[in-house]
């Protein structure tokens, strides 16, 4: 009986999002969260889209075509979503607590991509960090790493 219930609810199947590269649910959740971060200031700049593409390609080892398809799916999901729950839930299910800060760091990269941090952008990152159970100290450290990289990159033409 217990086995039948497990199969009914799918608890005996491995979660594809738990794989090191991330499964489809993790990839879509990450893309949607990154798009949502870019949209927080009222417009999405080309530099933000470039940052999102770069982050998705690097994090999930995607080809350019796969990245573009994922970005479009993420845009659609972010547009249709009424709350962040489905995205953070997918991340929480796919990543162990110590790896969730990677998503927060990606969000910081997107919101800083245009060189201006908007209050709405910062608020979104803080909300997502809380929903992912990433402590403020770790989120702050992720933010500092992003700013340090930006400073280093600005010094290297």
Query: What confidence tens digit (pLDDT) does each residue in 77-93 have?
Result: 999 999 999 999 999 99
Q: What confidence tier does 157 reach under pLDDT thresholds 50, 70, 90?
A: low
Domain residues for 109?
23-152
How far apart, in whole angstroms, are the C-alpha atoms of residue 148 and residue 55?
17
* Integer Cα distance of 51 and 106 in angstroms: 9
Count of domains observed in the chain: 1
- Cα separations (Å) of 118 from 12, 19, 114, 121? 43, 34, 10, 5
| DSSP code, position 23 | -
Residue 6 pLDDT > 60, yes or no? no
CATH of the domain at 118: 1.10.3680.10
CA angle 68–150–53, rounded 5-degree value: 5
Any domain includes 13: no
- Tell me the per-residue pLDDT of 39-81, one tens digit each, with 9 for 90 and over: 998 889 999 999 999 999 999 999 999 999 999 999 999 999 9
pLDDT > 90: percent of the chain: 78
Cβ distance 51 to 113 under 8 Å?
A: yes
Note whether residue 84 is domain-resident. yes
């Amino acid at each position: 009986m217990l086995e039948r219930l497990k199969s009914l609810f799918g608890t005996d199947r491995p979660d594809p999002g738990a794989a090191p590269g991330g499964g489809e649910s993790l990839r879509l959740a990450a893309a949607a969260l990154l798009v949502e971060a870019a949209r927080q200031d009222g417009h999405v700049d080309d530099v933000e889209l470039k940052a999102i593409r770069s982050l998705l390609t690097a994090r999930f080892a995607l080809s350019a075509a796969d990245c573009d398809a994922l970005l479009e799916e993420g845009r659609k999901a972010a547009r249709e979503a009424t709350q962040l729950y489905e995205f953070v839930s997918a991340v929480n299910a796919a990543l162990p607590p110590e790896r969730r800060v990677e998503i927060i760091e990606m969000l910081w990269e997107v919101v800083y991509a245009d060189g201006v941090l908007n209050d709405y952008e910062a608020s979104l990152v803080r909300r997502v960090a809380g929903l992912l159970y990433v402590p403020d100290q770790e989120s702050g450290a992720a933010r500092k790493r992003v700013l340090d990289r930006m400073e280093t990159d600005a010094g290297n033409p």
